Amino acid sequence: MTYLSGKHLLMLTGLLLLSGCTSVMQKDKFGGFEQAITHGANLDAIVLAEERAKIDKDTGYAKNLLWSLQAATLLRQEKAYRKSNLLFDAAEYEMQGEDTEHFLSKGAQLAGSMFLNDSVTSYKQSQFDGVMANTYKALNFMAQGDNANARIEWNRTEDRQRRAAEYFQKKVAKQKEKLAEEQAQLDQENIDRSLEKATPILANQGVDLSQWSAYDGYINPFSTYLHGLYFMLKAQDNSDYSKARDSFKRVYGLTKNADVKVDMNMATSLTKGRGMKRHKPTVWVIFENGLGAKKEEFRIDLPLFAFTSNVTYSGIALPKLVERPQAYPYLEIGKIKTRPLASMDKVIQAEFKSEFPYILTREVIRTTLKTVAQKQIQDRNPLAGMLAGMAQAASTGADIRSWTALPKEWQLARVARPTSNKLTIKTPGLALPLDVDLDPNSRFHMVYVKAAAPNLQPTVETINL
């Protein structure tokens, strides 16, 4: 077992205390941001997100990946489409940087985090972050009538979806390789025994991942559905109709949503030469409902078998997913109600499930390293050992960073376009209906309704298709 010098032990204690501050700051940042959103203070939430996004005043570009995504999402809701896409572009640029970051730089971050916690490393995007960034960018371009750039973004979205399953297979292999390297200098038997004890302890904490499963191929049905809708209604040739039919077919296979089946049949008829004018004018009502599952920290005392009990503190901190409520159960358009189309919660849960074994094992290894150091200090100087234990407790923290402005789910209703050019939308719990004016010069429309929390007035966006 490797022993640390007195100088290194002192430096380590200082780093542990500093990283404890990082953990507290995480909770404060996300708590204030969520509170602003759920209380309808969108502009306040945008200010918070933009401050943390580190936006360059001259270029408008941002350097912080996560907070660029947060700010861009809310700016889209406020119909600030150009600025929203500028921040989504910045986020994509940072995602590419994360993917191509020099190995030595990443290695240094990982090595440092093993003595601190994962929140000190740069934010690593989830697979669904990229898919949703391109999806929202495409919707922004459609809202601006820029169908050429919308087409580019929908193609990028579907390409990300296509690569998702392959990505997760490679990810698991890479994680196993990293863990093997990190465990090489530790007692593997003791690590394994600690992990065996983790399962029942986690179950007692309500952490049960067995019920979660991904959509087939790890896709997000919402993004694939809108990909199909775009290529059906903005088709340039028959191959676009085929793309649309294939997207609808895949989403219907996953969701059995009756409106998706109607769209699939419509796309099929178009591939067979039935003209668009033979299809009735239609409004697609999309309901972006609630806020998606977020990460919260919880701590447990997990037995570590490598040491005596002569230490001040030895525990682990892990993230868990906490679901947030719907804003409203459904929308009503006359006698028609919106029905579930896609669950962002399910997408988030599936990716978290694939990541959690790696997070748990790294946390056990990290705690083992910290406790080894604490025990060495304790053996030399009991007072210093007590301080090291306090530092270890302060630095034990879970990485709870995630794109928290994403919704809980999407619902869909497909209704005939009213001849009055007005659409009335109701929902239980909303005092006054939403009256939507439709452009009389368009036969097809998307009405995009968003409500982040119960009792908030939904926002409405109308896009001519």
Residue 321 has pLDDT above 60, yes or no: yes
Indicate whether 25 belongs to any domain.
Answer: yes
Residue 306, pLDDT score: 47
Which of 12-16, 210-214, 248-252 is the least confident region? 12-16
Q: Is the Cα dihedral 406, 351, 285, 446 positive or negative?
A: positive
Residue 147 has pLDDT above 70, yes or no: yes
Q: How confident is the model over 262-284, as a mean pLDDT?
A: 95
* pLDDT cut 90: percent of the chain above it: 55
Band (pLDDT 50/70/90 cuts) for residue 31 is confident
Band (pLDDT 50/70/90 cuts) for residue 361 is confident
The answer to whether the beta carbons of residues 80 and 49 sit under 8 Å apart is: no
Indicate whether 128 belongs to any domain.
Answer: yes
Number of domains in the chain: 1
Instruction: For the chain, give the secondary structure using H, E and C.
Output: CCCCCHHHHHHHHHHHHHHHHHHHHHHHHHHHHHHHHHCCCHHHHHHHHHHHHCECCCCCCECCHHHHHHHHHHHHHCCCHHHHHHHHHHHHHHHHHHHHCCHHHHHHHHHHHHHCCHHHCCCCCCHHHHHHHHHHHHHHHHHCCCHHHHHHHHHHHHHHHHHHHHHHHHHHHHHHHHHHHHHCCCCHHHHHHHHHHHHHHHHHCCCCCCCCCCCHHHCCHHHHHHHHHHHHHCCCCHHHHHHHHHHHHHHHHHHCCHHHHHHHHHHHHHHCCCCHHHCCCEEEEEEEECCCCEEEEEEECCCCCCCCCCCCCCCEEEEEEECCCCCCCCCEECCEECEEEEEHHHHHHHHHHHHHHHHHHHHHHHHHHHHHHHHHHHHHCHHHHHHHHHHHHHHCCCCCCCCCCCCCEEEEEEEECCCCCEEEEECCCCCCCEEEECCCCCCEEEEEEEECCCCCCCEEEEEEC
Indicate whether 258 belongs to any domain.
Answer: no
* pLDDT cut 70: percent of the chain above it: 78
Residue 13, pLDDT score: 52
Indicate whether 184 belongs to any domain.
Answer: yes
Indicate whether 173 belongs to any domain.
Answer: yes
| Tens digits of residue pLDDT in 448-460 | 999 999 989 999 9
Q: How confident is the model over 389-402, as a mean pLDDT?
A: 76
Indicate whether 272 belongs to any domain.
Answer: no
* Torsion of the alpha carbons at 71, 77, 80 and 84, rounded to the nearest 10: 40
Q: Which amino acid is at 279?
A: H
| Beta-carbon-side half-sphere exposure of residue 10 (alpha carbons within 13 Å) | 3
| Tens digits of residue pLDDT in 428-454 | 999 899 999 999 999 999 999 999 999
Q: How confident is the model over 160-187, as a mean pLDDT?
A: 72
Residue 393 has pLDDT above 50, yes or no: yes
Band (pLDDT 50/70/90 cuts) for residue 4 is very low
Indicate whether 259 belongs to any domain.
Answer: no
Indicate whether 339 belongs to any domain.
Answer: yes
Residue 109 has pLDDT above 70, yes or no: no
Which pair of structure tokens corresponds to residue 229?
Answer: 């809708």
| Tens digits of residue pLDDT in 233-262 | 999 999 999 999 999 999 999 999 999 999
Residue 113, pLDDT score: 53
| Tens digits of residue pLDDT in 64-79 | 999 999 999 999 999 9
Residue 91 has pLDDT above 60, yes or no: yes
Distance of alpha carbon 465 from the chain centroid: 28
Residue 452: domain span:
6-218+280-464
Band (pLDDT 50/70/90 cuts) for residue 461 is very high
pTM: 0.86
